[in-house]
Structure 1
Amino acid sequence: KLARFLEQHGKIRKVFYPGLESFSYYEVAKRNLRGYGGMISFEMKDGVTVARKLMKSLKICSSAPSLGGIESLITLPIDTTHGSLTPAERKKMGIPEGLVRFSVGIEDPEDLIEDFQRALA
């Protein structure tokens, strides 16, 4: 539900989630997975500055260097896991500056969507 919301939002360039038909390996995921999981990655159209603003504006989820827990968590790879790489190395690995990773927790999806709507406004 959140992945579909993000996919339709004007500030998001691309959403990476195996449960979306636009995902490059959707058919493989559909055949092989029982569910699509709670990990969503998405690229902001306006890059890292807007991604950082989004992360600071969200109220429900917490910023974290690693993802995994019952609460919703969000991270910006350029500032955490891939921060030691040069921009050229990140580009070669397919990690754009505006890439955000989000781990959906046990919160109500409608509350998360509302939080993202407010933060992306």
Structure 2
Amino acid sequence: MAKSRTHHIGRLVTVVLEPGEPLLASVAQVASSMGISFASVSFRANLSSARLILGRRRYTRRAHDPDRVSFDDGREVVGNGHITQSESGSVEVALRCAVGREREVLVADIVEATVGDGATLTLVEGYAAA
């Protein structure tokens, strides 16, 4: 279910996803139906399962060999990302989150995820995520 309100920096949209919904596809569907072609995203989600690609070490900023990780035991994650519109007109969603692993915090790109107990995302239209 999506709620929308006007904000001085652009349209601010809160998206609440129900358990079992695919995270990326649901966000893309909401953005497309609301005519959002470019937005920054911040979120907190309980994911029942996910496939992630681990990237850089957050605290050292040194390159880390990309590593794929999956889980199906449910986890709460926070993160950010962006929504863009491709040249073909389709809406593309890129989200990343912080993942703790063996005394380090890594940033991971979300490849696929299913919402567990729920997810809340905030979209700010027209602004890129930092």
Please indicate, yes or no, whether the TM-score normalized by the shorter chain is above 0.5. Answer: no
Provide the TM-score with structure 2 as the length reference: 0.28
Q: Which one has more relative contact order, counting CA pairs under 8 Å at least 6 apart?
A: 2
- Which structure is higher in strand share? 2
- Which structure is higher in helix share? 1
Provide the TM-score with structure 1 as the length reference: 0.29
